[in-house]
Amino acid sequence: SNFQSTNSICTMLQSQPSFMGAIFVCVLLTTFVLAVQAGDFYKLLGISRDATSKEIKKAYRQKSLEFHPDKNKEEGASDKFAEIARAYEVLSDEEKKEIYDKYGEDGLKQHEQGGGGGGGFGGFEDVFSQFFGGGGGRRERNQERQTPDVEIPLYVTMKQLYLGAIIEVEYVREVLCLNWQECMKNSQECQGPGVRVKMQQIAPGFVQQVQQKDDRCVSRGKMWRSNCSQCPSKTTTEKIDLTIDINRGMRPGELITFEGVTDEKPGYTAGHLHFKLIEKEDKTFHRDRDNLYKTVEIPLVDALTGFSITLKHLDDHEFTVNVNDVTECDHVMRIPGKGMPRRNGRGFGDLYLTFEVDFPDKLTDEQKKAIKNILSSSNQKDEL
C-alpha cells in the first residue's frame, strides 16, 4: 500500500547522516500520500473535498441508485455499490471524515478497529436505510444491553448506623444454564438482543430494512435454537450469599450496590443490585443528617434550681448533662460531639436536647405562699 511504501522510504531516509532533514522530508511525503488517498472517497461520489453535507447526501443518492445491484446488472456493479456506500458512511460522519482527511483510509481502519467501530463495508445497510427506510442504526444495535437494575429496601436501626454493621443476605436470581452457548446458532438477520432486521424489495431498485422484535435473537449474529435440549429454559434459579457492609454514619436513603449480580440473560450483561437504607424509628433519638435530637422532661423545681441528668447513648455508653441556671420551657441545649459519626471519619455531629418543663397540676396554699415569698424576696434583691 501507499503507507507501506512511504514507511520504507522514511526508514531509508532516517539512516542517512542528515536525520532531521530526513524526518522533514518523510513528513512531507506522508502528508502527500495521505492527501492523495483522501481523494478516493470523494472521487467515488464525484464531489470535491469541500462539499457540504447536503451535496454529499445528494451525490450518494444518485450514485447508489445508479449502481444498485437490482437495477444495474453489469459486472462489478455490486462491488461499486458497496464502495459508494462505504464512502458515504465515512464522509457523512464528521469524526470519520476528519480522520480520513488527515490519515487516509488505512488510518481510518486503524481507528475503527481500535475503537470497536467495525470497518470495511459494514456500514452499507445503515447508510442505505437512511434513505429507504428501516429502523435502528448499527451503533444502536451494537450497544451493550443490560438486564434491569433491582432496588431492595434494607431496614436498619439507628444503632446499626451509629456503630456500623455487617449483614448477611441471600439473593435469588436467574443465571444462564451451564451449556447455554451450545443452544445458539449464527443468524445474519439478528442485529442485537431481541432485534431482527430483514431486507425486502419495495419497488424496482428500492429496498427497505424492516426491523422486527424477535426474542430468539440473543446478540448480533446469534439466534437461540428452539427446543434446545442442552438448555431448555435459557436460565436456572440460583441463590447467592451477599455480605452488606454498613459503614458508621451512613444515612437513610443511601444505596449499597453490588454490580452485575441481578438476573442474567443471553445477549445481556447482568444489572446492578442496590440495597437502599431505610432507618427504623428510634424511641430515644431523632436524627437529621449527622445531628441527633432528644426531648427531656424535667420537673418545675429542676427548671428553677438546676439539675443533673444521666443519659444513655446509642452505643449504651452513659454521659452526664449538668444545668445550673434556670431552664425555660422548650429551651434547646447543644452538646457538641454527641451526635452521629461523620461518614468521612472526622468526628461526630452534635446532640440537641429540648427541655419540657413539667408543671404540677395543683399547689397547696402553703406551697403557693412559700413560692410567692421566695420569688418576692428574689425580685426585691434584684431591684436593690
- How confident is the model at residue 341, as a pLDDT? 94
What confidence tens digit (pLDDT) does each residue in 160-202 have? 999 999 999 999 998 888 777 778 888 888 887 788 887 777 7
**For residues 258 and 272, is the Cβ–Cβ distance under 8 A?**
yes
**Distance from the Cα of residue 351 to its chain's centroid:** 37
Instruction: Give the separation between CA 123 and CA 243, rounded to whole angstroms.
Output: 47
Q: Any idea what DSSP says for residue 120?
A: T
Q: What is the pTM of this model?
A: 0.55
Rounded to 5°, the CA angle 22-28-30 comes to 100
Tens of pLDDT, residue by residue, the chain (384 residues):
444 444 444 444 444 444 444 444 454 444 444 444 444 788 888 888 888 888 888 888 888 788 877 777 788 877 888 888 888 888 888 878 888 887 777 777 776 665 443 333 444 444 444 454 444 444 444 456 788 999 999 999 999 999 999 999 999 998 888 777 778 888 888 887 788 887 777 766 666 778 888 878 877 888 888 778 777 777 888 899 999 999 999 999 999 999 999 998 877 888 999 999 999 999 999 999 999 999 988 888 888 888 899 999 999 999 999 988 888 888 888 989 999 999 888 899 999 999 888 888 888 888 788 878 877 765 555 554
Q: What is the DSSP string of 304-359?
A: HH-EEEEEE-TTS-EEEEEE-S---TTEEEEETT-SPBPTTSS-B--EEEEEEEE-
Beta pairing, strands 184-192 & 217-224: antiparallel
Q: For residue 44, give the C-alpha cell.
A: 467515488
Would you call 303 exposed, middle or buried from its count of C-beta atoms within 10 A (0-12, 13-18, 19+)? buried
Helix ranges (DSSP H) in 253-321:
300-305
Would you call 258 exposed, middle or buried from its count of C-beta atoms within 10 A (0-12, 13-18, 19+)? middle
Instruction: Give the separation between CA 28 and CA 34, rounded to whole angstroms.
Output: 10
What distances in angstroms separate CA 56 from CA 61, 72, 117, 301, one per listed residue?
9, 22, 22, 92
Sequence-distant contacts of 197-201: CB under 8 A, at least 24 apart: 197/125, 197/134, 197/136, 197/141, 199/125, 201/70
